[in-house]
Amino acid sequence: MTSKVYYMDARSNSPQTSLVSKMITVFEAAGFDKLIKPGDVVAIKLHCGEWNNTGYLRPVYARTIADKVKSLGGRPFVCDTTTQPYNPYATRCTALDLMVTAERNGYSSATLGCPFICADGFLGMDDYRVDLPEGYILKEAYIAQAIAAADVMIVLTHFKGHALGVIGGSLKNLGIGAQSKRGKFNVHMGCHPTYGLGSSAIFHPENCKGRKGEEDWQILEDCCPYGLIHVTEDSIEWEREKCVNCLSCLRPMISRGIWELSEDNFNATNAAIADACLATVKAVGPGKVAFINMAIDISKGCDCICFADVPIVPNLGVFAGYDPVALDKACLDKVVEAEGVQGSTAEEMEVMESGVRKFESCSPLMAGLSEEAQLNTGEIIGLGTLSYELVPVDEKEMTDVAFPPDPRPVGVRFRRLFKKLQPFPYDRYEGKGYNREEKVDLERVNTHFDDKK
């Protein structure tokens, strides 16, 4: 079986080739407009970006899809979910924190023309349980309730790298991003008997000098929301059997060499991401979930970190389809095919050539993780296929270039207004308006610095 992936490249040189227009063009080419019936509640799932991240999708993309949904008679809302803490100073861990961060990043009803919703409730416990007998590792998943309640979902994804997942595409947008907080603990292998951090990480208490020897020892205790870390006078204790894999202590532990992470923990999580993505599709309904990948600003890290590095490859384009495995595979293939960006991590890691895998060298927390793990799992469990047909979509013929809120030509719109509130001072300098030199040496400035030497 082969899935169709509708695609337009990232070049823009006219209104109809802007990335916003291309996103809607592939939306229509993929038939997403036929998915939405009048009255349908439509979730637009995206990542609203971490505090101070600058690589996340600009709100105009979600706004345009929301407008499109409304034009089809649907009731859109844009949403994201609460996170695990992930670091000692979490910024999206409650609905309140998420809304504050989202608004700072430009996501609000004012910009979107529809509500921005935290889909899993105040602390991430509003969810819908899905049985998953077909899952590779997960046999159940917990989907954010507002997403499970939607009639239709448009998954709007910024395709880029990810520290743990290696890639962050459609699968990760749902496999992590559509899970409630308790769903995220599940995907991250919290308390898992084999792959959980408590079971799989190698603990080196000898690398902690304790309260006497560590000036900033307090953060080691303060970063755990379950109080599982205890710094003693000369070492550290960890109640590993209760660890939920919230990852809040990850950096403090790794930077001191107290934890040695297991590759298996990340590999298992990557397989679970595909499982949880499938569970989300099941929750909304097969055939009711449409995927768009914006492969732009392709930094090595996810939008869940509080910065965005120089992209490792140039912008690649806009992809749409119903099969998230095929969609992410098509984007990943384009990244491999592309040449790396000079001055980026791709150059540092010497993966600049076309044909070379880039994310595996540039993005992960540890070497040895595969950028294809989520996709391979997705195919095994029947979420989608790695076999795809890339369908190039032609740019739309421009029949109407008018500004939608007022489509009249400017002469009609402004003639009366300019007469009343004249912006050009015709009454000054004999109708010439301004005090200016009549003639200057333009050649003198119309030159290059080198020519003057």
Q: Which parts of this chain interact with ligand SF4 (CB under 6 A)? A: 197, 223-224, 226, 228-229, 243-249
Could you tell me the smallest distance in angstroms from the CB atom of residue 101 to ligand SF4?
21
Could you tell me the smallest distance in angstroms from the CB atom of residue 365 to ligand SF4?
14
Among candidate residues 363, 242, 355, the one with its CA nearest the CA of residue 312: 363
Q: At what angle do helices 324-337 and 263-284 cross, to 10 degrees?
A: 130
* Strands 41-45 and 75-80, bridge-based pairing: parallel
* Residue 87 or 377 with smaller CB distance to ligand SF4: 87
CA atoms within 13 A on the CB side of 272: 28
For residues 252, 257, 263, 269, the Cα torsion angle rounded to the nearest 10 degrees is -20
**d(C-alpha 385, C-alpha 5), whole Å:** 11
* Residue 248 or 345 with smaller CB distance to ligand SF4: 248
Alpha-carbon torsion (236, 240, 242, 243), positive or negative: positive
At 117, the amino acid letter reads I
Helix or strand holding residue 202 (H, E):
strand 202-203
Cα separations (Å) of 307 from 53, 202, 302? 4, 29, 9
* Residue 229 or 362 with smaller CB distance to ligand SF4: 229
* Residue 248 or 280 with smaller CB distance to ligand SF4: 248
* Residue 255 or 399 with smaller CB distance to ligand SF4: 255
Could you tell me the smallest distance in angstroms from the CB atom of residue 65 to ligand SF4?
35
* Residue 19 or 163 with smaller CB distance to ligand SF4: 163
Could you tell me the smallest distance in angstroms from the CB atom of residue 252 to ligand SF4?
9
* Residue 176 or 247 with smaller CB distance to ligand SF4: 247
Tokens of 288: 């009711």
Could you tell me the smallest distance in angstroms from the CB atom of residue 93 to ligand SF4?
12
**d(C-alpha 184, C-alpha 369), whole Å:** 20
**d(C-alpha 229, C-alpha 220), whole Å:** 7
DSSP E strand boundaries for 32-165: 41-45, 75-80, 116-118, 127-131, 140-144, 152-158, 160-162
DSSP 241: G
**d(C-alpha 160, C-alpha 168), whole Å:** 5
**d(C-alpha 40, C-alpha 73), whole Å:** 7
Tokens of 396: 């739309």
* Residue 261 or 349 with smaller CB distance to ligand SF4: 261
**d(C-alpha 445, C-alpha 297), whole Å:** 35
Could you tell me the smallest distance in angstroms from the CB atom of residue 63 to ligand SF4?
36
Could you tell me the smallest distance in angstroms from the CB atom of residue 260 to ligand SF4?
14
Could you tell me the smallest distance in angstroms from the CB atom of residue 126 to ligand SF4?
22
* Residue 254 or 341 with smaller CB distance to ligand SF4: 254
Could you tell me the smallest distance in angstroms from the CB atom of residue 250 to ligand SF4?
7
Cα separations (Å) of 126 from 94, 177, 219, 321, 421? 12, 14, 30, 29, 54
**d(C-alpha 274, C-alpha 328), whole Å:** 11
Could you tell me the smallest distance in angstroms from the CB atom of residue 221 to ligand SF4?
10
* Residue 25 or 245 with smaller CB distance to ligand SF4: 245
